[in-house]
């Protein structure tokens, strides 16, 4: 699994006008492009927890109840993290003999009990958190990097990021880690799960020297080019080692492009509304490509509604394992969609915190709540929908539409600009169908213990 | 030349999320995709006049001086049309032995002296105007269709368009006309210029019965699918007849998608700002594909700044002809860009009426005037930028920026959301360069006699 923070519109294959992702575009032309693929949350930590557990954040605990419909993640002073009761993908794969490695950002808690090697991973190279900073080194230390159990340095101090030039060679380090791990596994003929979760496109954006200034898109584009180049090298390495036909590769993103960082450090969500942090399409619809030469028909395109949680179930399926039966799993097995072109009927739920903001069923999306961000944030220049303003939709107060949800047809209106008329026959017919889906979902929903409620500087 | 009214974002190859244009996408994968291709005007008539003359509308007369920066076109009661003094592409190609046919919308005037067969075309099947209507048949007759000199019927009366269902088989008729013409030319071994200017995606949007309801995108998508299918059939026909390697084919659009007709009858301009009628990227940046098997490298992508006016000069070049030397020609020969991958330095000018609103030089675009539409129109619900609102940019009054143009970097900011700071070094440096380009342009500009100033019902 290759995971970044890129927007749907950041790849040439998805219509980025500079078309600077030749390797990802080639990956798509050799594999399958998913046009309707989603994350489970418009923010990093919950999205990654969902990917590794196959469960919505509201079930696995990666949310807060401190306020209604609030996004939450794992800052340095967070007390919580991934509960032991959660079964992570590497824990299960280990039983089938897989060696599991995470390279890059973990984001599921930084206290010792949440360490990736306590949750199924055999190896780790990366950080528990994003490369924010630099901080002072007393109240707020710089984010550490680990090799397995050992803390080997800190961002900015030992792993340089030049905030003026944007230069950092971290993606190259992460690439080399991936190539080495793959070589080692191939040499020992051991099956492996590699979770390559790099963060060059997350602000503060960086790229290696040889990529700086190479993009039409500025520093963000330089970072995209380096990631694209690295993914090309990983795929080529698999082919060179002769294991590409035994290796299922999936590329996607943990949330939409952070438009708040635009134009210098933000990406593109193509024709979609708003970005990261929001439950509009720009916040949660992700670029996605499956690649498995000899198995996936080259140049395939799928309209299967997919979700990062499906990578949990699909990976288990590839390993010949069943998902756990003692808990609700939200991810589905995508293999029938990928290998046989089937379309599996399933809804997509858009959450903030423990509130279901919206749901997609087929081509229709119903908003039960709308919120971009608060007036308070907005007045400070924090804008998740820059240049976009849709009455009753991009609201700066939490607007409830639970009695009459705002309904959009994402085929005719991918930008969520034109709510269907409440009095139309189409609205009535579709909402009847969607209401059943939502009722079923809510009736069986048992929220997990919220993990992201408490921060305490003492845990840093 | 295959000309439609589609937006940059309407093709799968350009990131339309439903990805429903397999034949155009294949045309791109066999040919060359232009990512930075423009029309000469954000409205139909001037754009088409520019394509056929290789000259900006302000030179060839396709503009009005009735008001400042007004778009104008050729309604039924227009007195003017393409002047005899203009040399049209078919007039010149005729000298090299080409047979010239226009299928579809002419739009360069409907009085007898403006008839396409008076301006170099040998054959015509189509209409002088768009398929507006139906009108009453006294003050406002329905738009006529012609076969060559003969008026053979009228839209809605003899050529049905069902406004309720959107059904009309016109694209099939236009397709058959194209296939027949190509067969005839191949049989007689005569070189030909075919100008296939269909209008199914122009409101009122229509599609044939077999395409109705086949798109995720509604009726507009049905029309796109039918055009896509037709273009696939035209290319296949060329291949079947064995003349594809002798036939240069270019697909593009006369203006951006008409967002005012969205969501039911409007298309997509992808990540770009606003649509038809405006001089923002959404109004003038067009999808474009060149196809010429055996000559154009398959799967090519070009960042050459192109313009519909270049089709004039490029077509002449293909025919071994020189452009006229007695007048200013704005179109350039794209063959070095297409065949050798060269990048030719040239600006793009964005006009409304006789006002240069903006100019693009390299990746920079400077707005000297901004205007979306008037408050009067806007208050009636006419909106060329639905859901988009960028302070000082999408203005409802004509805003002059001639002393301090608004400057955008289209690589970092394709959506024209973030004007560069006037005080930045980048602004100063770039504007110096752009000012020279603009000065040169204005110094040599000799506007033509405006043709679109006078309407008179007597000429209908």
B217 shares a domain with B310: yes
Q: What is the pLDDT of residue A137?
A: 80
Interval A211-247: pLDDT, tens? 999 999 999 999 999 999 999 999 999 999 999 999 9
**Active-site residue, selected from the candidate residues A23, A44, A115, A202:** A44
Chain A residues with CB within 8 Å of chain B CB: 9, 12, 14-19, 33, 35-36, 215-218, 220-221, 262-264, 268, 270-271, 273, 301, 303, 363, 386-390, 409-415, 417-418
A324 shares a domain with A364: no
B47 shares a domain with B7: yes
Q: What six digits make up the tokens of B317?
A: 């070049």
Is the CB of B217 less than 8 angstroms away from the CB of A411? yes
C-alpha B299: how far from chain center: 23
Tally the C-alpha atoms within 13 A of residue A353's C-alpha that lie toward its C-beta: 14
B107 is catalytic: yes
Interval A278-306: pLDDT, tens? 999 999 999 999 999 999 999 999 999 99
Instruction: Select the residue of A36, A264, A271 nearest B271 (Cβ to Cβ).
Output: A271
Residues of chain A in contact with residue B417, where contact means CB-CB under 8 angstroms, are: 262-263, 386-387
Mean pLDDT across A317-346: 97
**Active-site residue, selected from the candidate residues B23, B68, B107, B115:** B107
A436 shares a domain with A326: no
Write down the H helix ranges in B36-152.
44-53, 57-60, 89-95
A335 shares a domain with A249: yes
Is the CB of B412 less than 8 angstroms away from the CB of A16? no
Q: Please tell me the distance from the alpha carbon of residue A149 to that of residue A211, in angstroms, as a whole number.
A: 32
Q: What is the pLDDT of residue B138?
A: 83
Closest residue in chain B to residue A362, using alpha carbons only: B216
pLDDT at A258 over 90: yes
The CATH number of the domain holding residue B383 is 3.30.1120.10
Q: What is the pLDDT of residue A388?
A: 96
Does a structural domain hold residue B457?
no
Cα–Cα distances (Å) from A196 to A21, A123, A124, A253, B249, in that order, read 18, 12, 10, 11, 44
User: Can you say whether the dihedral through the CA atoms of A208, A209, A210, A211 is positive or negative?
Assistant: positive
- Number of domains, chain B: 2
Closest Cα in chain B, distance from residue A287 (Å): 11
What single DSSP character describes residue B294? T
Closest Cα in chain B, distance from residue A56 (Å): 25
Does a structural domain hold residue B456?
no
Closest Cα in chain A, distance from residue B405 (Å): 19
Last residue of a domain, one of B312, B344, B376: B344
Residue ranges, chain B, pLDDT below 50: none
Does a structural domain hold residue A453?
no
Residue B14 sits at φ, ψ, to 5 deg, of -105, 15
B44 is catalytic: yes
Closest residue in chain B to residue A416, using alpha carbons only: B387
A384 shares a domain with A330: no
A285 shares a domain with A434: no
A126 shares a domain with A78: yes
Instruction: Select the residue of A15, A303, A389 nearest B15 (Cβ to Cβ).
Output: A15
Interval A340-381: pLDDT, tens? 999 999 999 999 999 999 999 999 999 999 999 999 999 999
Q: Which of A7, A9, A17, A420 has the highest number of chain B CBs within 10 A, making it the mutation to test binding with B? A: A17
Q: Please tell me the distance from the alpha carbon of residue B422 to that of residue B415, in angstroms, as a whole number.
A: 19
Any binding-site annotation on A254?
A: yes
Is the CB of A263 less than 8 angstroms away from the CB of B418? yes
Percent of chain A scoring above 90 in pLDDT: 97
Tally the C-alpha atoms within 13 A of residue B363's C-alpha that lie toward its C-beta: 17
pLDDT at A124 over 90: yes
B439 shares a domain with B306: no
Q: What is the pLDDT of residue A460?
A: 81
Interval A11-56: pLDDT, tens? 999 999 999 999 999 999 999 999 999 999 999 999 999 999 999 9
SS3 for B115?
coil
Q: What is the pLDDT of residue A136?
A: 85
Q: What six digits make up the tokens of B22?
A: 């397999």
DSSP secondary structure of B375-406: HHHHHTT--SSTTB--TTTS-SS-EE-SSS-E
B136 shares a domain with B192: yes
Sequence ranges of the binding site of B = 44, 254-255
Last residue of a domain, one of B344, B376, B398: B344
Closest residue in chain A to residue B393, using alpha carbons only: A387
Does a structural domain hold residue B460?
no
Residues in contact with B435: Cβ distance below 8 Å, sequence separation at least 6, in sequence order = none
Does a structural domain hold residue A454?
no
The CATH number of the domain holding residue A172 is 3.40.720.10
Q: What is the pLDDT of residue A357?
A: 98
| Full domain range(s) for residue B424 | 351-444
> How many other C-beta atoms can be found within 10 angstroms of the C-beta atom of residue A324?
17
User: What is the interface pTM, i.e. ipTM, of the complex?
Assistant: 0.95
- The overall pTM is greater than 0.90: yes
B404 shares a domain with B302: no
> How many other C-beta atoms can be found within 10 angstroms of the C-beta atom of residue A422?
12
- Decide the pairing of beta strands B2-4 and B249-253: parallel
Q: Please tell me the distance from the alpha carbon of residue B9 to that of residue B251, in angstroms, as a whole number.
A: 14
Residues in contact with A434: Cβ distance below 8 Å, sequence separation at least 6, in sequence order = A359, A361, A364, A366, A405, A407
Write down the H helix ranges in B241-374.
281-284, 310-318, 335-340
B363 shares a domain with B319: no
Interval B343-361: pLDDT, tens? 999 999 999 999 999 999 9
Closest residue in chain A to residue B222, using alpha carbons only: A412
Does a structural domain hold residue B38?
yes
**Bridge partners, A302 (sequence order):** A34
Last residue of a domain, one of A286, A313, A344: A344
Which stretches of B244-325 are assigned E, i.e. beta strand? Answer: 249-253, 285-291, 300-302, 306-307
pLDDT at A138 over 90: no
């Amino acid at each position: 699994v290759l995971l970044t923070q890129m927007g749907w519109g950041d790849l040439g294959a998805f219509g980025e006008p500079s078309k600077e992702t030749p390797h990802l575009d080639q990956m798509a032309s050799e594999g399958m492009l998913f046009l309707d693929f989603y994350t489970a949350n418009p923010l990093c930590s919950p999205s990654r927890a969902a990917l590794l557990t196959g469960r919505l954040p509201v079930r696995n605990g990666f949310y807060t109840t401190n306020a209604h419909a609030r996004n939450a993640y794992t800052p340095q002073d967070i007390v919580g993290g991934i509960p032991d009761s959660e079964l992570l993908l590497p824990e299960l794969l280990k039983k089938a003999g897989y060696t599991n490695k995470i390279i890059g950002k973990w984001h599921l808690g930084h206290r010792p009990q949440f360490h990736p090697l306590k949750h199924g991973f055999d190896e780790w190279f990366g950080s528990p958190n994003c490369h924010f900073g630099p901080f002072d080194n007393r109240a707020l230390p710089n984010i550490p990097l680990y090799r397995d159990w050992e803390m080997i340095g800190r961002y900015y101090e030992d792993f340089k990021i030049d905030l003026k030039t944007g230069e950092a060679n971290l993606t190259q380090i992460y690439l080399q880690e991936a190539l080495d791990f793959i070589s080692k596994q191939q040499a020992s003929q051991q099956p492996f799960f590699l979770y390559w979760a790099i963060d060059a496109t997350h602000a503060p954006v960086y790229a290696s020297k040889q990529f700086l200034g190479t993009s039409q898109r500025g520093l963000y584009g330089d970072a995209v080019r380096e990631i694209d180049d690295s993914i090309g090298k990983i795929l080529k390495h698999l082919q060179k080692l002769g294991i590409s036909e035994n290796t299922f590769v999936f590329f996607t993103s943990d949330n939409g492009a952070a438009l708040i960082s635009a134009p210098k450090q933000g990406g593109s969500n193509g024709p979609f509304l708003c970005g990261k942090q929001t439950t509009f399409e720009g916040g949660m619809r992700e670029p996605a490509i499956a690649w498995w030469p000899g198995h996936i028909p080259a140049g395939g395109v799928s309209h299967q509604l997919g979700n990062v949680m499906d990578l949990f179930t699909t990976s288990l399926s590839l390993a010949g394992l069943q998902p756990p039966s003692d808990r609700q799993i939200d991810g589905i097995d995508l293999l029938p969609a990928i290998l046989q072109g089937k379309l599996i009927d399933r809804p997509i739920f858009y959450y903030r915190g423990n509130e279901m903001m919206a749901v997609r069923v087929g081509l229709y999306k119903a908003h039960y709540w709308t919120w971009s961000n608060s007036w308070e944030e907005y007045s400070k220049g924090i804008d998740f929908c820059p240049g976009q303003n849709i009455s009753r939709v991009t609201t700066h107060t939490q607007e409830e539409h639970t009695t009459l949800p705002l309904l959009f047809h994402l085929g005719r209106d991918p930008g969520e600009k034109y709510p269907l008329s409440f009095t139309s026959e189409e609205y009535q017919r579709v909402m009847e169908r969607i209401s059943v889906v939502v009722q079923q979902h809510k009736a069986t929903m048992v929220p997990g213990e919220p993990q992201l409620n408490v921060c305490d500087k003492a845990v840093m």
